[in-house]
Every structure is written in C-alpha cells, then in structure tokens.
Amino acid sequence: MTQPSDKALVPFVSVDNMMRLIHHVGIDAMLRDLASYIEADFHRWELFDKTPRVASHSDVGVIELMPTSDGEAYGFKYVNGHPKNTREGLQTVTAFGLLADVYTGYPVLLTEMTLLTAMRTAATSAMAAKYLAPAGADTMAMIGNGAQSEFQSLAMRAICGVTTIRLYDTDPAATAKCAANLAGTGLRVISCASPEEAIEGAQILTTCTADKQNAKILTDNMVGPGVHINAIGGDCPGKTELAAGILNRSEVFVEYPPQTRIEGEIQQMAADFPVTELWQVITGSAKGRRDAKQITLFDSVGFAIEDFSALRYIRDKVKNTDFFYELDMLADPDDPRDLFGMLQRARTT
C-alpha cells in the first residue's frame, strides 16, 4: 500500500503529550508564554475575522465551534459545556482545536484543548488583570473551585504577582481539592466558609461557577470600591454570576461585544450598555483602570482569537520535539485529480 507523504501527515498533540509539554516548559513559564502570544494577537486584533461562536444549545448543555483567521492561518476550537457532567464522572468542558494554512487549506496542527483551554483562559484572565487590577494587588478571591480554579490562581501569581488566594465553593470538597493542589506552590491559600469571607481583603475577585442559571454569586452590597472583578463563569445565554447593580457601578471590559452581549454578564443589561473592548486597552487606544477607587470588571466569555493564539503557541513549541504524533488525515494521491485511482490501488485481495 502506498505510504502517505509528509505533506499529508498532520501533527497531533494528545492529552498525554500536552501534559508532557506543560511540565517540560513549566506551568508558570507556559502561562506567561500564552499570555504573551494572546497579547501579541490582541495588538493586531483588527486583522482577524471575528464572529460570535456557533453554538448548539440543548437542555443539558452546549456544543460550540469557535473559528477565526488572520489571513495566513485559520483556527477553530470545538468545545462543549455540560454542567451536569460532573455528576456523571465526566468533565464539564472538553475541547480540541485545529490550525490550518490559509494558502493551501491544509491542517498543520490538531491538538487536545481541554488542558490548553484551561491554560489560555487563565493566561487571558491574568493578562487582563495586569492592565485592570489595582496597583499592588496581592490577594485574589477564587469563588468556584472547580477545574479552572488552580489554573486561575497560578496565572495570577505568575503574571500579576498575587501571593494569597482565598477560596470558596458551595461544595467544600471542591475547596479542599483546590487547596490541596495549590499546596507547595508558594501561594498562601485560605479556605473560606462563604463568598463574603472569601472577598474580605481581596483586590481581585474571580468568579468561576458552572451551573447554567442567572445566579448572583456576588450581590451589589458585597462589592466595594477599588477592586477588579474577573468574571469568567458566565459564558452562555441564561448563565450569569453577578448582580446587575455591580455592572452599573463598574467599568466593564469585554473581548468581542457581539458575543459578550449574548453570553456574558452584560446580557442582563440594555443593548446599549457601555463597554470597552480589551484590545483597545492593550493597544493604548482606550484607558484601563483610571483611579484607585474604580471597580473594573472583565466580563470574559472566551473568544476565538485567544484559542488561535494558543494554537499558534503549540504549533511553534512542538516543532522539532517528540511532543506530537503524525496523523494520516489527508488523502494525497500522486495525481491530485485521481483520488479514485488512489482508492483502487489500496485494494487488498
């Protein structure tokens, strides 16, 4: 049987190889690297194709595609969100992604993105906090201690210098899990009995809960002046975490308004509710934090350009390494017009 040519083989980064790569690079170093790639792509934001993610909703969750292109490479991520999955011993979120060459249309990378999404989400949060959090912020409240919590905590340490994490979850077992996983990382970890206790003394408040409902994890009277809120749990229609009163008192920063108005905290607000796009802050065309008493709010739902940045990073990082397999994904007949002939030559007798 004819062997596939090199141009028909696509690098594939499996879960095992992604874990090996993360430990090879180092978690802190990779979080910083990803933040740098994301920040670089935010600087060229206007070059990208942009569209709200394509979502297929059901009673139990959502399946989404997140595509974008910078004109040279095209990337997409497949991702699900099924909060009920944890009760069945499954992940709430799983993902994989693909990067392709625009000139040929050929894929150049296929990779797991469950771990990679956790890393890029944390890197994006910390990148935003670098621009929006109050100067000298060293304490973060982590409300919702599920799969994202350790990544968020470590990214805030690696990129923003946070030294103390105050944990709260409605499930004490989740808090115990997170505290155990963060032991030995150099972070001071405090487990709290309520969200009110968790936000005490914290300059950064991160909310990351899973239930698909209009919740009020933070009520208006809980949030005082001068904090930065990193709201990452609201990521689909009908799912929010913050009281509307908090948004009215905050300067709200978003990734891509047409998507965030559907999925983010601002879905609660009027269609003309004012927001600032984060890329504008990063490029200097808009201001971030203006004063010490301001409440800043990053209404983060995750956007395709961040996944594109992560895919670019993995493509670059695995070159000339053994952190990938080659998959025979693409038909590659000797004569591009003779696909049937290639099939016939593969017959066995």
Q: Which residue from 307, 251, 242 is spatially nearest to 281, judged by alpha carbons? A: 251
Strand partners, 57: 62
Q: Exactly one of 33, 41, 169, 235 is catalytic; name it.
A: 235
Distance CA 224, CA 15 (A): 41
Say which DSSP state 297 is in. Answer: E
148 near 119, Cβ under 8 Å?
Answer: no
Q: Do the Cβ atoms of 322 and 283 come closer than 8 Å? A: no
Using CA atoms, how far apart are residues 153 and 285, in angstroms rounded to an integer? 29
The H or E element containing residue 132 is helix 114-132
Q: Which run of H or E residues covers position 80?
A: strand 73-81
- Phi, psi (5° rounding) for residue 314? -65, -45
Phi-psi region of 74 (alpha: psi -120 to 50; beta: other; left: phi over 0): beta
Are the CB atoms for 31 and 124 separated by under 8 Å?
Answer: no
**Rounded to an integer, what distance in angstroms lies between the CA atom of residue 326 and that of residue 110?**
10
Q: Does the annotation mark 6 as catalytic?
A: no
**So which residues are the catalytic ones?**
235
